[in-house]
Amino acid sequence: MSYLLASSFFSVLKKLDREKALKTGKAIGNLFWNLGYRKDVILKNLDIAFPEKDKNWKLQTGKASLQNIGKVLAEFPKIPEYKKSGQLSQIYQIVEGKEYLQEKGAKILTSAHIGNWELGGACMALEINNLISLAYRMRNEKLNNLITSIRQEAGIKIIFHDQPLKDFIKAIREGKTISFLVDQNALRHRGVFVDFFGLPASTVTFPAKLAVKFKLPIYFAYGVYDRNSNRLNIFIKKIDFSPTGNEEEDIRNLTALYTKEVEKAARQYPDQYFWVHKRWKTRPEGEPENIY
């Protein structure tokens, strides 16, 4: 059922021009908000992240966040046509950090669910040859294949989280760029606790482990909608990291550094961040897991 709904929904969206698709996406976000979709989670997250803001600001920001998610959904099935027609190169600009794209060799690219992360990935694939992205395999095989095919048509090779480590090592040895979304709650055995908006958050360490083990440069990149033109403004930053030689400490420190970059981006563009996720669900030992 979910595959049929997604397939039908995508086929309708693909027929719309970009302006109509974005308006449709915003309307979808409004519908989610009016139906109360995860409103309690959104407002709880905003309470944690922005305790100084009043309720009206949080309500407006929460609604805008869902509108942004609607825009991501509306543009996602259109990305292959954007690329095929050449439109993709016209709807984004690299505002900061373009020089880093010229650096040779394998690298780690971290990012977050902010702005349009799917469109941003496609834009980066235009700039970086052989971009690889980690993805989680969906239980519905048909739906998983549909979403994966769109990403691959955008020029992104997918490695799933359940594939063997040797696939990642092979990509590194071939000098490829591996990208990760690093801002979702990690199960305790998959992450470490680092500060995120003043509260410990269990955060995925795999990008840091690869960077430390193979001595790879690591970057943080994200693309947000320009509020006037709806072009995607992309920012790329190289994460300055000095290893201590203690592998466990280095992994924790590097995880904290890219998490801080996520926080900075979310603070600057809170209306385009993914507040629907239960980011602080996993708690340190001894703390009750009842934030939500």
Strands (E), 34-185: 92-96, 107-111, 131-135, 157-160, 177-181
pLDDT tier at 286, thresholds 50, 70, 90: confident
Mean pLDDT of the chain: 95
- Mean pLDDT computed over 189-195: 94
Please give the Cα distance from 56 to 50 (Å, whole number): 12
For a pLDDT cut of 70, what percent of the chain falls above it?
100
- Mean pLDDT computed over 135-164: 93
Q: Is 259 left (phi over 0), alpha (psi -120 to 50) or beta?
A: alpha
pLDDT tens digit sequence for 245-259: 999 999 999 999 999
Strands (E), 164-288: 177-181, 191-196, 199-204, 218-225, 232-238
pLDDT at position 160 is 93
pLDDT tens digit sequence for 90-140: 999 999 999 998 888 999 999 999 999 999 999 999 999 889 999 999 889
pTM of the complete model: 0.96
pLDDT at position 1 is 57
Q: Check whether 187 has a pLDDT greater than 60.
A: yes
Give the angle subtended at the CA of 123 by the CAs of 122 and 128, to the nearest 5°: 95
Q: Are 101 and 236 in contact (CB under 8 A)?
A: yes
Q: Check whether 289 has a pLDDT greater than 80.
A: no
Residue ranges of domains in the chain = 2-272
pLDDT at position 290 is 85
Amino acid letter at 191? G
